[in-house]
Structure 1
Amino acid sequence: MKKGLTLKEHSTSISISHRALDVLCLFVTGLLSYWIRFSHFDLNIAYKNVLLLGVIIGATLLSIFGGYRAWRGSSFTSEIRCVVTATFGTFLLLVLSAFATQTSELYSRIWVATWLASSTILIIGYRLILRQSLGALRAKGYNIRNIIVIGDGLLAQQVAERLEQHPEMGLVVQGIVSTHGKISGLTTQKGHLIPYLGDLKELESISKKHKTDQVWIALPMSEVEKMEQVQAALCNNSIVIRMVPDIFGFRLLNHSVTEVAGLPVINLSTSHMLEGKNRFLKSVEDKVLSFCILICISPILIGLAMAVKLTSKGPILFKQYRTGANGQDFKVYKFRSMVVHDEEDGKVTQAKRGDSRITPIGAFMRRTSLDELPQFINVLQGRMSIVGPRPHALAHNEHYKTLVESYMQRHMVKPGITGWAQVNGFRGETDTIDKMANRVEYDLYYIENWSVWFDLKIILLTILKGFIHKNAA
């Protein structure tokens, strides 16, 4: 028998409890924020309506962004991103609705800000406590899932060791069922022996004997016949069967499983940004922010344009083809920072510190990244994003695509004005393969882990760290 209370992985009661707690958090923090601002709980009809609307929108967005899925085995960072995206989205919609109905003056900004902060903190806080409590219970043997691994090779070894490293998930490997005859078992890195339980012919009796909850198939893709045998052996019981595809040798980019035309499909290389609702959110984020920013910086743009025109001959804007999303080329806009010149044989020579081609005003713009400001026009055109991998010259793409692993995967999404690589110091000249490889590594991390919250974090870091950087030429 398992210790303690057994909770099903996709329990309806847990989901309902989560929803009820989130609604309670939104409602209580809304009331407390009102008390903090006005020192009483006597809400007028306008505040009552907004409170009710905020609770409904918040609960809906938490559901849309996956707040009530099974989090066993997922990182808490993912859960935090989900909560923050939902709460910030809630208050953004509330603010937009207030502006649209011309009622924003009826509500206290302090109340709105306090409600946003307190509800986010409270929801994340209770979820953290719940996660840690469940993790501690699972580590002690409560609420566990007994697992049998089918396989006896490197993949089975990796599965056993990964699960052993995370006892808080409550997934305990009872043993190995071999497809190649009797073995001595598997020894993990911690020195624990995963015993051999038998072969496939004995699988049904083994699973009953050990009260198995899940069977994980860790076999090469070529072993289809053995996988069918596993399904046949367990077709008359309720054991969960999972397959761990043998893809550890691939350079994976946001790998996931989806369904296309009724077919199960494993995504080896994709991005959350390419999904319908996320593509829409990213587009709205880019268009709204770029429009607002262009209005705010228009005096700076006019001043820089005049400075470029008055200090050297040539056009104000420098236009160069770069590779955009899906490998489509487009013209990127920058303030011209160099004297007009011709490159030899179509080559693109990167600017270096002290480059004689750079004009005095150009040097200032490059150090402060002001030459990049016209790219907000590219964003408004839909050719770039505010946040994304920085676009490289076409010649550089041709040069590096065979030298840096997964280099061209950067072009799965729209290039950006700033990016995760840039805020981590990888900007300016890339005169070595290692520098470019590091930049690509950060770009791919961004693509795999994208969220609106991650974008806002990068924008904030860009502002806090400043536009001036020692690597800028």
Structure 2
Amino acid sequence: MLANNSFSLETDGYSFLYRLVDIFIIITTFVIAALSYGIEFSQDYFTLIISTLLIYAYLSESMQLYRSWRVGKFSKMILLLSCIVSLTFMCLSAILFIFKLGDSFSRVVIVGWFFSAFILLISWRVVTKVIKSNRRKSGRNNQDIAIIGLTKSGHQLYDEIEQHFELGFRFAGFYDDRQPDRMTGLPINLLEGNIDKAIDLAKAGRIQKLYICLPMVAEKRIAEIIKKTGDTTVDVFIIPDFMLKNLMQARIGSVGSIDTISVFESPLNGMKHFYKRTFDIIFSAVAIIALSPLLIAISIAIMLNSKGAVIFKQDRYGLDGRKIKVWKFRSMTVVENASVVTQATKGDARITSVGRFLRRTSLDELPQFFNVLFGDMSVVGPRPHAVAHNEEYRSLVSYYMLRHKVVPGITGWAQINGWRGETDTLDKMEKRVEFDLAYIRNWSLMWDFKIVFMTIFKGFVGKNAY
């Protein structure tokens, strides 16, 4: 079973809530300011509000205001919010000045609006912080973490976690292969076992984050640990035993005053996630509307061709190893969703006559646009495999599970390069994973457009699709 990781309040659904509350505050404070000064609401003021919201949203997403602040500092978030509000006000003022629109609006209303909005945007975050702190004190909304290496840097990390409960971390213990006599001056009573035990916890989904606190000179040992954790969906970080911010290009994070290096973490965060999700929503909605006649025609053909449901929902693993239900048009006389799933092969007797055409042209995948619209899938990304195939290949292909660091897709880089359909040999799956990881490492929105464009011409059919 894959890890069912918990998420911080500022990610996923809660990040949407933060955006929604901010929008509500900005609109409400304007209405109050206008009514208080006796201003009649007009189309000009409506345009002003929309423009302000667009500027604020763009700056917020660009500066990653809605990213997770679980391991950040609240003061930094407030400072960033202050900068965004100030920049929004300056941008709006510049627009009004350049286009000579200042006389059309009340300066008192605009200044009062921004001041009150700024106070409320900060105030509701302070209230939320107090509530979250109380929840975390009571043990709710916490993430379980383990530290590999009972070292000085590991001990410092432990002290930061113990001193800052607001981080929302629950300490699962130190894990080290060394003998206790080599750990003089360190809290040996917190040692829970060897490194393999920590990796087993990660595979079982009992921890959400793993911090490697070994000396950087132990690069071979660190590389071995990283390779083993590639078979999990746990977030892995390296705690350097010296400051690295000026020495290397890397994604640097921190827990309090302790530096961390992200090893396995989703590359789609902040503005990248915003761009990709926006693209997915628009594209999937348009596709469903445009393809609705074809969807209806295929549904009728399936019902006339064989008995059974039109839509087949199969368990797959999605982002961070969470189970999702992937929709497909039924193309077989059987419905397999158990611990053992037999891949379709050439001339497979289970495939119906309509199903054979659908699979060859990938039209059986069209219902997955609903998965995209609901957020379980993306238009472009690594193809989600059946649960049984995941469990089979995760131990055979290095870094296989890293495919789940992004949302799975309807089409992908591997598919348009010919690695789709049956994976009857290990080398075929290795090539598919190789292309999937190349996509994840080098993602860009333009690459998504390129893959969609190429899918139209070469991704719907293939010699390996049965």
TM-score, L = length of structure 1: 0.48
* Greater RCO, CA 8 A, separation 6+: 2
TM-score, normalised with respect to structure 2: 0.49
Q: Which has the larger radius of gyration?
A: 1
